[in-house]
Amino acid sequence: MDTEQTTRIHELIGKINELWISGHTDELYNYFSNNVVFAAPGLNRYLKGKDLCINSYKEFLAQAEVKDYQTDQVNVDFFQETAIGTYHFSIRYKQGGETFHDEGYEIMGFRKFDNRWLLIWRTQMPVKV
């Protein structure tokens, strides 16, 4: 794929993260496919569909306050009408009176529907800090 499409996926990853961190989770409906799947770390649990996936962000934000969230090492690969974005993330958040720092890698899969890229799959691979 061309640089324009790579830039678009970079922008989508940034926008999705910006929306959930800022609490604008209802806007995520514009960026997720109807059948989006979130695979929990370890791939032992899956959420399927926009509502369940977006509610997972809402539930996290109801319990935690994000203090800092950073991404780097963004890479995008294309396979016809599918794009895979991978990146390193680092998050600091406060929950239950304690502050936590998690980091790892996230994988987001996108598919082109009617000339529009939508999220179809997401998982995280945490690393110990």
pLDDT in tens, 1-11: 578 999 999 99
Pairing of strands 116-127, 64-79: unpaired
pLDDT band of 102, cuts 50, 70, 90: very high
pTM of the model: 0.92
Which amino acid, one-letter code, is at 73?
Q
Q: Residues 10-17: what's their mean pLDDT?
A: 96
Which amino acid, one-letter code, is at 92?
R
Digit-coded pLDDT (tens) for 45-100? 899 999 999 999 999 999 999 999 999 999 999 999 999 999 999 999 999 999 99
The domain tally of the chain equals 1
Structural domain of 18: 3-127
Q: Is 72 left (phi over 0), alpha (psi -120 to 50) or beta?
A: beta
Measured CA to CA, the distance from residue 53 to residue 28 in angstroms comes to 10
What is the pLDDT at residue 129? 60
Phi–psi pair at 9, nearest 5 degrees: -65, -40
The CATH number of residue 56's host domain is 3.10.450.50
118's enclosing H/E stretch is: strand 116-127
